Structure 1
Amino acid sequence: MIGRLLHYSSPRARRLLITELVFIVATAVLQGAAFLLLVPLLQALLRGDTDAAWSWLTVMAAVGAGYVVTTWFASQIGMKASGALLDSLLTRLGDRLIELPVAWFGQDRSGLAAGIATQGAMFVSNMPYAILRQILIGFITPGTVLAGMYVFDWRLAVAMTVMVPVILFGYRWLQRAIGRGDVVHAEAVTDASNRVIEFARAQPALRTAGEGSIADRLVADALQNQHRAYRGLLVTGGAGIATFAGLVQLSLTLLLVVGAYLAVGGTVDVATLIALLVLGVRFNEPIVAAGDLGGGVAVARTTLDQLDRLAAVAALPEPQTPAKPADWGIGFEDVTFGYGDEPVLQDLSFNAPAGGMTAIVGPSGAGKTTITKLIARFYDPESGTVTIGGVPLPELGTATVEAAVAPVSQDVYLFDDTIVNNVWLGNPDMTREEVIAAASRARVDEIAYRLPGGWDARVGEGGTNLSGGERQRVSIARALLKDAPIVLLDEATSALDVGNEIAIGEAIDRIRADRTLIVVAHRLQTIMTAEKIIMLAGDGSISETGTHTELLAAHGSYARYWTERVDATGWQLTPTDAHTHPRL
């Protein structure tokens, strides 16, 4: 456990922990020495030797003073070590979450991350002083006492020594039992946390469903499962602690039996026997206390195991020296990718020219959004190659890809902060005036003027104070502020009304001249103005590519798709521009 704590510690935290451990060991040894001094002190008192008693009492007072000093230093350093360790754990967790591939977040991991960042990290950081200190004292102090007993009477010392393996076995069994129960409990807590977070986020939808919805049942089941796991942990832990305490008391019983036998036989005087029995009681007390806290080590180990599993998640491969793309064109070469057993994209190959707009259309589930995720390197394909400027993304590295690509996703998440700060995420190096100017291009200024507080109005968790269209405008403003050479628009205008859609379309037109745009959309105005259209089939392959005019003239799947969209939106076509410019 100590080695694992040091592994997750920063250099400062490591120094403080080692110093704390040194003082804890010194405290335990001094406490054991003070207990040992009870033997000659009691012997002198029982024999009426006042001078010897005062001498031993003086020595005990000196040892006690040393114990007080080391305890004080251990306490002060322990508090600093706990703070430094907490900072180290949270920093390691944050750094690791940033490094993890987005594929790891495909399942809801919010409960796991929240559990580690709150209860788990806090418990582990407090463990060295609050728990580990008591455990070390609980074994080092009796060890010191046991070693000293060999000086006074080796027979009683042997009687205590034979119980040491039994006590250690009981302690390890206690830790394993509580550890198994805590693993089950931690999984139940994670699932319950995920459900509660999901329940809170989905309130607008759930309230339309009324009481008794499936979400209510899922939350209730998760909480009941957590309660069952916690009860099981209490039963297992209680039984383990009681068993361990019984083993420790068995060692005291053995000491009493052997001591009585020696006293009856006359091989040990009564004064020495009483002193050694008192010492035996002091031998057992710290061990019982250590057993009570042993489960805390198992609980802390669960959090460290979770951190170990996070560290073991394979990250996307990164180059030692990132390559530089020749331009900002995008290429797919025989790309196959899926989220499970069934592939979403199969042997997909196409090129999106640099500085132009490529529209990706097709039926639902054809893999349109997946293409944008592969371009942003949220995933690497199972086979084939995705390139930017002719260079495969693994050779560019994630940092280069992230700097070059500005995604505007269909699902927009805003942090519970101000409007201006949510836009500022697009480029933290910009000034407030530049941020507001970029946000105004996406008509975010209209949102700011509407809300009390203006640009400093809070958007709520997830942006709940804004409408879907307003959240997307903030997301587009981020992309405009980032000023990346590649922009991915995944249904970015799907939640906007007509007036706002026109405004966003104008903003997009202003950046088309010198950027590569990949647009996933069903909106007819966007599709027909693209330099290249990629029509996907339902199985994730490409059925057709070309311009709007070329694909309509081919009378294939795109022409059928276009006709269906025109009929669905109520557009009317004039005879002269039926293949080019539909109009209301």
Structure 2
Amino acid sequence: MIRRLLHYSSPVARRLLIAELVFIVATAILQGVAFLMLVPLLRALFLGDADAVRQGLVVLAAVGACYVLTTWFASQIGMKASSALLDSLLTRLGDRLVELPVSWFAADRSGLVTGIATQGAMFVSNMPYAILRQILIGFVTPATVLVGMYLVDWRLALAMTVMIPVLLVGYRWLRNAIGRGDARHAEAVADASNRVIEFARVQPALRTVGEGSIADRLVEDALQNQHRAYRGMLVTGGAGIATFAGLVQLSLTLLLVVGAFLAVGGTVDVATLIALLVLGVRFNEPIVAAGDLGGGVAVARTTLDQLDRLAAVTALPEPQAPAVAADAGIAFDGVTFGYGGEPVLRDLSFRAPAGRMTAIVGPSGSGKTTITKLIARFYDPDEGTVSIGGVALPDLGTAAVEAAVAPVFQDVYLFDDTILGNIWIGNPDLHRDDVIAAATRARVDEIVARLPGGWDARVGEGGSNLSGGERQRVSIARALLKDAPIVVLDEATAALDIGNEIAIGEAVDAIRADRTLIVVAHRLQTIMTADRIIMLDGDGGIRETGSHAELLAAGGAYAGYWRERVEAAGWQLAAPDTAPDPLPERTRDDR
């Protein structure tokens, strides 16, 4: 455990922990020496030797003073070490979360991460002084006493030594049993936390179905599972602590039996026997305390095991010397990819020219969103390569890809901050006026005009104070502020009211002027004005590709898709001989 704590410590925390452990061991040794001083002191009292009593008290007082001093130093260093260790754990956790591939977050890990960052990290950081100190004292102090007892009477010392392997086996069993129970409980807590967080997030949807929904049952089942795991941990821990306490009492009983046998035989005088029996009681007390706290080590080990598993997650490969992309063009070459099961994309190849707008269309489940995630390097393909400017993304490195690509996904998350603050994170180095200018291009100024507080109005947790279309405008403003050469829009205009659709459409027009734009498009105006359209089939491949006019003229699958969309939207196409302009007129139904 000490080795693992030092592994997760910063250099400052490591020095403080080592110093704390040194003082704790010194404290434990001094405590053992003080206990040993009771033997000659009690013997002198029984024999009525006043001089020996005075000398014993002087020595005991000196040892006690040193004990108090080392305990004070251990406590002062312990507080600083706990603070430094907590900072180290949270820093390591944050750094690791940033390094993990986005695929790791595909499953809901919020409960796990929350547990590590709160109770787990706090418990581990406090463990060296609150728990490990008592455990070290519980073993170092009796060891000191045992060494001293060999100097007084080797037979009684041998009787105590015989029980040490039994106590060690009992302590190990206790620690492992509590550790297994706590690991099951930690998993149950993480699952319950995930369910409760999910339950809170989807309240609008749940209230439409009323009580007794599947979400209610899932939350209830998760909480019941957590309660069962907690009860199991208490039962296992209680049984283990009771068993260990019984073994400690057995060692004391053995000492009493051997001492009585020696006293009856006349080989040990009564004064020495009483002093040794008192010493035996003091020998066992720290061990009992250590056993009671042994479960705390197992609980802390659960958090460290979780950190170990995070460290073992395979990150995306990074280049030793990152290459430089020639331009902002995007290419998929023979890409096959699936989320751990059947491939979503199969041998997919296409080009998205730099500085042009490429629209991706196709049926639901054809892999449109997957393409955008591969461009942003949330995943690497199972086969084939995705490249920017002729360089495969693994050769560019994640940092270069993140700098080059600004994604705007359908599900926009905003932090519980001001509107301006949520946009500013796109480029924290810019001046406030530059942020407002970018936000105005995305038509966020219209949102600000109606909110009390203007640009400093808070958006609520997750952007709850804004509509879906308004949150998307804020997200597009982030992309504008980031000024990345590639912008990926995933259904950014789907299912919006007419006001937000027009505003976002204008923001898209502002983006495409000098950037490579990849749009998962449903808005007809966006599709028909794209420089290049890629239509996916339902099997993870490409059915057709070309410009809007070329694909309509071909009369293939895209032409049929277009007619269906037009009819569904209530558009009317003018006759070709009377209206050469391909832009259809909208009717009042398209709102």
* TM-score (ref. length: structure 1): 0.99
Q: Residues 151-204 of structure 1: CA distance to partner in whole angstroms, max 9, x if unpaired? A: 000000000000000000000000010011111101000000000110111111
Tell me the equivalent position of 1:76: 76
Tell me the equivalent position of 2:366: 366
How far did residue 507 of structure 1 move? 2.5
How far did residue 579 of structure 1 move? 8.8
Q: Residues 230-251 of structure 1: CA distance to partner in whole angstroms, max 9, x if unpaired? A: 0000000000000000000000
Q: Is the 8 A contact 2:23 2:70 kept in 1?
A: yes
Q: Residues 269-306 of structure 1: CA distance to partner in whole angstroms, max 9, x if unpaired? A: 00000000000000000000000000000000000000
Q: Is the 8 A contact 2:476 2:507 kept in 1?
A: no
The 3-state SS of whatever aligns with 1:459 is: coil
How far did residue 452 of structure 1 move? 2.0
Tell me the equivalent position of 2:34: 34
How far did residue 377 of structure 1 move? 0.3
Count matched residues: 584
Aligned counterparts, 1:26-65, within 5 A: 26-65=26-65
Whole-angstrom distance in 1 between the partners of 2:66 and 2:338: 66
Aligned counterparts, 1:260-339, within 5 A: 260-339=260-339
- 504-513 or 36-45: bigger deviation: 504-513
Whole-angstrom distance in 2 between the partners of 1:516 and 1:25: 64
Q: Residues 499-521 of structure 1: CA distance to partner in whole angstroms, max 9, x if unpaired? A: 33222222222232221000101
Whole-angstrom distance in 2 between the partners of 1:375 and 1:519: 12
- 91-100 or 424-433: bigger deviation: 424-433
Tell me the equivalent position of 2:237: 237
How far did residue 100 of structure 1 move? 0.2
Whole-angstrom distance in 2 between the partners of 1:97 and 1:463: 23
Q: Is the 8 A contact 2:469 2:501 kept in 1?
A: no
How far did residue 14 of structure 1 move? 0.3
Whole-angstrom distance in 2 between the partners of 1:176 and 1:235: 14
Whole-angstrom distance in 1 between the partners of 2:303 and 2:581: 62
Tell me the equivalent position of 1:140: 140
The 3-state SS of whatever aligns with 1:37 is: helix
Tell me the equivalent position of 1:500: 500
Whole-angstrom distance in 2 between the partners of 1:289 and 1:452: 59
Q: Residues 295-318 of structure 1: CA distance to partner in whole angstroms, max 9, x if unpaired? A: 000000000000000000000000
Whole-angstrom distance in 2 between the partners of 1:96 and 1:217: 34
How far did residue 495 of structure 1 move? 4.4
Name the aligned partner's letter for residue 38 of structure 1.
L
Whole-angstrom distance in 1 between the partners of 2:580 and 2:279: 102
How far did residue 454 of structure 1 move? 1.7
Whole-angstrom distance in 2 between the partners of 1:523 and 1:510: 16
Tell me the equivalent position of 2:164: 164
The 3-state SS of whatever aligns with 2:20 is: helix
Q: Is the 8 A contact 2:415 2:461 kept in 1?
A: yes
The reply on whether 1:481 has 2:481 as its aligned counterpart is: yes
Whole-angstrom distance in 1 between the partners of 2:467 and 2:514: 31
RMSD: 0.9
Unaligned 5+ runs, structure 1: none
Name the aligned partner's letter for residue 327 of structure 1.
D
Tell me the equivalent position of 2:119: 119
Q: Is the 8 A contact 1:553 1:579 kept in 2?
A: no
How far did residue 493 of structure 1 move? 1.7
The 3-state SS of whatever aligns with 1:220 is: helix
Unaligned 5+ runs, structure 2: 587-591
* TM-score (ref. length: structure 2): 0.98
Q: Residues 1-21 of structure 1: CA distance to partner in whole angstroms, max 9, x if unpaired? A: 000000000000000000000
Q: Is the 8 A contact 1:534 1:546 kept in 2?
A: yes
How far did residue 496 of structure 1 move? 3.2
Q: Is the 8 A contact 1:552 1:579 kept in 2?
A: no
Whole-angstrom distance in 2 between the partners of 1:445 and 1:16: 52
How far did residue 406 of structure 1 move? 0.4
The 3-state SS of whatever aligns with 2:208 is: helix
Name the aligned partner's letter for residue 496 of structure 2.
L
How far did residue 448 of structure 1 move? 1.9
Q: Residues 17-46 of structure 1: CA distance to partner in whole angstroms, max 9, x if unpaired? A: 000000000000000000000000000001
Tell me the equivalent position of 1:580: 582
Change (3 A) 1:579 1:342: farther
Tell me the equivalent position of 1:10: 10
Name the aligned partner's letter for residue 520 of structure 2.
V
Tell me the equivalent position of 1:340: 340
Name the aligned partner's letter for residue 90 of structure 2.
L
Q: Residues 245-274 of structure 1: CA distance to partner in whole angstroms, max 9, x if unpaired? A: 000000000000000000000000000000
Aligned counterparts, 1:325-474, within 5 A: 325-474=325-474
Whole-angstrom distance in 2 between the partners of 1:376 and 1:409: 11
Whole-angstrom distance in 2 between the partners of 1:458 and 1:144: 62
Whole-angstrom distance in 1 between the partners of 2:495 and 2:487: 19
Q: Is the 8 A contact 2:20 2:74 kept in 1?
A: yes
- Equivalent pairs: percent with the same residue? 82
